[in-house]
Amino acid sequence: MKIQLSKDAVCGIIEIPKGDYLASLGSDNGQIVLVGGGRDFKIPAVRRRANVKTKRTTVTFSGGGGKIWSLVIASPKLGEWISMIQYKD
């Protein structure tokens, strides 16, 4: 799924410049990969649930309040993975 960051953001120590990105899951190493602008950003992810009730993979990018946004990838085979992204000032 394509996500758009309107400002520069941070996930842990990884700085992500504003732009359009494609999100993919690397469950074997617990990372979500954002691909865009000729660069790959590997951000840490945490497994939230093992069982997912949907039969297809979904990607959700939603506001978590203030500057913090959550990126959730849910897959029937790999479970649900979440990463928190914080916008810079």
> pLDDT tens digit string along 8-67?
999 999 999 999 999 999 867 889 999 998 999 999 999 987 777 778 888 999 987 789
Residue 53's Cβ-count burial label (10 Å; 0-12, 13-18, 19+) is exposed
The Cα-based distances of 46 to 7, 14, 20, 39, 43 in angstroms read 24, 16, 23, 22, 10
Q: How many domains does the chain have?
A: 1
Residue 48 pLDDT: 84
pTM: 0.85
Q: Which domain holds residue 78?
A: 2-87
